[in-house]
């Protein structure tokens, strides 16, 4: 089996690193194409021993499994370019957010009567084999194709099949918000947390829009205030606990007084 990546950005780099660490495929059997040879991820793939090219057609010719790892708006142009070169042996796996299987099949049906297409959503913790992946199967993809994709993606984390209409929800939850995997990446990668955040934020993509909402709502200051409030309250409780003559009722009243001091807070007698 040979694997190709059209697009050599953060996702391709993370998947290659995860696949090779898991031992499911050797780097000399992986080809990746990118028009920009100066990308840091391209340099990283080169150091790992991946075959690199600027030609998408070359990637197709050298691959059995083909990951489409480009931005969603690039997909139609890529399909028009590689469509004539797709053969029966090829399994096309799209990682582009929001691009449906039917839209890919419609493009490829101009060139092949039964293109094998699958769609998956994963996240960058695959680099430390703690990713979360869901996938959906196209009209012409077979059971064995699903097993092959699961073999690859399960080697770098959790993987399961879902109905395609659930993938968009996973994009917001898993693709844009990895939790444990992100913590492990922080420990293993030696990169600054801000850099890890930027790695998963494609310009104009789903994740950067989610971050915009968080920033607009004052998410960072809210987190800081929450930690600070918890710290202050912990010290207050410790002080109260040290005063042997203060009863639990007094501690409860102190807590209530603090709450009532907050703007807009009212408590009825029945709630006391």
According to DSSP, the residues that pair with 207 across neighbouring strands are none
Non-local CB neighbours of 102 within 8 Å, separated by 6+ positions: none
Annotated binding site: 6-11, 34, 56, 69-72, 95-97
Indicate if 82 and 203 belong to the same structural domain: no
* Same domain flag for 35 and 130: yes
18 and 128 within one domain? yes
Q: How much is the pLDDT for 43? A: 95
CATH for 73: 3.40.50.720
Residue 54 CB partners (closer than 8 Å, separation 6+): 33, 34, 35, 37
- Residues 107, 53, single domain; the answer is yes
Q: Are residues 185 and 113 in the same domain?
A: no
On whether residue 257 sits in a domain, the answer given is no
Q: Of 175, 190, 213, at which residue does a domain stop?
A: 175
Tell whether 255 is covered by a domain: no
From 146, 175, 204, give the residue that closes a domain.
175
Q: What is the CATH number of the domain that holds 232?
A: 1.10.3730.10
pLDDT at 91 (0 to 100): 98
Do 185 and 171 lie in one domain? The reply is: no
Task: Give the pLDDT of residue 183.
Answer: 59
Whether 54 and 112 share a structural domain: yes
Cβ atoms of 72 and 100 closer than 8 Å: no
Residues 10 and 117 in one domain: yes
Q: Binding site for NADPH, residues?
A: 56
What DSSP line would sit under 99-139, residue for residue?
A: --HHHHHHHHTTT-SS-EEEEEE--GGGGGT-EEEEEEE-S
pTM, rounded to two decimals: 0.69
- Asked whether residue 266 is domain-assigned, the answer is no
Residue 175 CA to residue 60 CA, distance in Å, equals 26
Query: What pLDDT does residue 9 have?
Result: 92
For residue 234, what pLDDT is reported? 54
Domains of the chain: total: 2
Residues 72 and 169 in one domain: yes
Give the domain extent around 126.
Answer: 3-175
In a domain, 263, yes or no: no
How far is the C-alpha of 167 from the C-alpha of 214, rounded, in Å? 22
Annotated binding site for NADP(+): 6-11, 34, 69-72, 95-97
pLDDT of the residue at 179: 47
In order, the DSSP letters of the chain are --EEEE--SHHHHHHHHHHHHHTSS-GGGEEEE-S-TT-HHHHHHHHHT-EEES-HHHHHHT-SEEEE-S-GGGHHHHHHHHGGG--TT-EEEE--TT--HHHHHHHHTTT-SS-EEEEEE--GGGGGT-EEEEEEE-SS--HHHHHHHHHHHHTTEEEEE--GGGHHHHIIIIIS---HHHHHHHHHH---HHHHHHHT--TTSHHHHHHHHHHHTTHHHHHHHHHHHHHHHHHHHHHHHH-TT--HHHHHHHHHHHHHTSTT----GGG-
- Picking from 150, 32, 34, 149, the residue whose alpha carbon sits closest to that of residue 92 is 149
Q: Are residues 187 and 167 in the same domain?
A: no
For residues 49 and 51, give the distance between their C-alpha atoms in angstroms, rounded to a whole number: 7
- Residuewise pLDDT in 10s, the chain (272 residues): 999 999 999 899 999 999 999 999 999 999 999 999 999 999 999 999 999 999 999 999 999 999 999 988 899 999 999 999 999 999 999 998 888 999 999 999 999 999 999 999 888 778 888 788 999 999 999 999 999 999 999 999 889 999 988 887 776 666 544 544 555 666 666 677 667 667 666 677 766 777 777 778 777 787 777 767 766 765 665 565 555 545 555 555 555 565 556 555 454 544 55
Same-domain status, 157 and 210:
no
């Amino acid at each position: 089996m040979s694997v190709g990546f059209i697009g050599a950005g953060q996702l391709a780099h993370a998947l290659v690193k995860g696949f090779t660490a898991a031992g499911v495929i050797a780097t000399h059997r992986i080809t990746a194409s990118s028009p920009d040879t100066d990308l840091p991820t391209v340099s990283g793939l080169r150091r790992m021993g991946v075959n690199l090219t600027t030609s998408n057609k070359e990637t197709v010719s050298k691959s059995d499994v083909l990951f489409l790892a480009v931005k969603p708006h690039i997909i139609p142009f890529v399909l028009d370019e590689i469509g004539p070169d797709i053969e029966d042996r090829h399994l096309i796996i799209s990682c582009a957010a929001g691009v449906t299987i039917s839209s890919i099949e419609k493009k490829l049906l101009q060139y092949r009567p039964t293109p094998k297409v699958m769609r998956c959503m994963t996240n960058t913790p695959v680099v430390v084999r703690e990713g979360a992946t869901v996938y959906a199967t196209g009209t012409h993809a077979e059971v064995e194709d699903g097993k092959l994709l699961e073999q690859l993606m399960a080697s770098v984390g959790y993987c399961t099949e879902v109905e395609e209409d659930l993938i968009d929800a996973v994009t917001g939850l898993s693709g844009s918000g990895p939790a444990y995997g992100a913590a492990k990446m922080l420990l293993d990668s030696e990169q600054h947390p801000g850099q890890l955040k930027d790695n998963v934020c494609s310009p104009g993509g789903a994740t950067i829009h989610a971050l915009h909402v968080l920033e607009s709502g004052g998410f960072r200051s809210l987190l800081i205030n929450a930690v600070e409030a918890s710290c202050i309250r912990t010290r207050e409780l410790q002080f109260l606990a040290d005063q042997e003559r203060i009863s639990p009722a007094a501690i409860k009243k102190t807590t209530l007084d603090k709450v009532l001091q907050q703007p807009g807070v009212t408590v009825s007698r029945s709630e006391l």
